[in-house]
Structure 1
């Protein structure tokens, strides 16, 4: 801790040019200090835990000398809250939907690069969902679910033998069909990098009919 304090004193006394420039560009705000060991591309996604803290900047665009530590600084952790807090029907993913999604993505990464390890994953926005089915024969007001799909925006960190850590962003999509016929159920997943959620939702509306042969009578 003493070393950190001494380093901060040195920065206040003789701030590096890049910090001075950042401060000048953010008068009245703050400049974040990011741990480079916890990220991939410094211009890419930065998990909140990778921010060590922030330097306060005065209205004149100069450092005030005050450093505010981030209490959550440390190794990034999974965050599926935007997914698991959804009230959408997720039973088709099993008892632990977040685990099912994480395991599927980890498998895809390992298939791409043998030995790849998914370090952490964060769901960046509320996923988009599609559910299709047909009316129950004895009660047309109720639906028998025959197919379901989701498009889930993510950021994740992956390491693999002999390679640098990579932080990837994109959308993970999963479609399952013939949910009313467990023995014939078919699933397919996609990991689309550097795409936005609106694009993925449009693709999901096509993909939900590409898996399997029998189209659902309706989607919502």
Structure 2
């Protein structure tokens, strides 16, 4: 096996019941070793960086003793790649859309629980977009002017709050900006829907994009 930490030696010598059960349920596979100090709930969303590695399981459903290190193990980091690498037009959010989204969510969390700090956030799925436009006084049928835009982002995040244990939250964050065709007059609102799924949020976006400023569950961006 080569060099192995004292902790892993103890685990191999006397595997905890939950590890034995997981191994038995995954013959020929592997079982993840999670650093519980990096996650709020190891049974909920676990960022890849919180996985120390994997115990290899034999075809008999027992641990082989082999442990494969996770090269990305460490403090979880933000991941906005599904947003920033989409190639979609995002200037209507901000010059730096990822930073703007992060700042907005951090502000929402701090407003709900004073002193709350956003540790990391990850965009989990391809965002859902919605754009509204009008035709200008022009004979060009391909010429349109964007008037409003919206986006819904599924996320997982970790938040630390004074007097509370670390929490991992999942949901959908939505952002709508209107009056994009009126320089100096655009107006934005955001929604923070914990536990929501992206399909539901996309349906909501179809309504929210036409009634920005009317919902009490919304905040300004």
Do these two structures clear the TM 0.5 threshold for a shared fold by scoring above it?
A: yes
Equivalents in 1 of 2:34, 2:4: separation in Å?
Answer: 14
Partner of 2:147: 146
Q: Deviations over 1:181-208 (max 9, x none)?
A: 1322211100001111000000000000
Equivalents in 2 of 1:44, 1:15: separation in Å?
Answer: 22
Moved segments of 4+, more than 2 Å: none
Aligned ranges 1:21-170 → 2 under 5 Å:
21-138=21-138, 139-170=140-171
**How far apart are residue 4 of structure 1 and its match?**
5.9
Q: Determine if contact 1:155/1:169 at 8 Å carries over to the other structure.
A: yes
Q: Determine if contact 1:151/1:171 at 8 Å carries over to the other structure.
A: yes
**How far apart are residue 5 of structure 1 and its match?**
1.6
Higher helix share: 1
**How far apart are residue 143 of structure 1 and its match?**
1.1
Equivalents in 1 of 2:16, 2:158: separation in Å?
Answer: 29
Q: If the length of structure 1 is used for normalisation, what is the TM-score?
A: 0.92
5+ residue gaps in structure 1?
Answer: 214-220
Partner of 1:216: none
Q: If the length of structure 2 is used for normalisation, what is the TM-score?
A: 0.92
* Further displaced range: 7-16 or 167-176: 7-16
Q: Determine if contact 1:177/1:212 at 8 Å carries over to the other structure.
A: no
Over the aligned positions, Cα root-mean-square deviation in angstroms equals 1.5
- Aligned residue for 1:83, secondary structure, equals helix
5+ residue gaps in structure 2?
Answer: 215-221
Partner of 2:217: none
Q: Determine if contact 1:35/1:50 at 8 Å carries over to the other structure.
A: yes
Q: Deviations over 1:35-77 (max 9, x none)?
A: 1110012221000000011100000001000001111111100
Q: Deviations over 1:130-153 (max 9, x none)?
A: 010101222331111110000000
Partner of 2:195: 194
Equivalents in 1 of 2:66, 2:4: separation in Å?
Answer: 14
**Count of equivalent residues:** 211
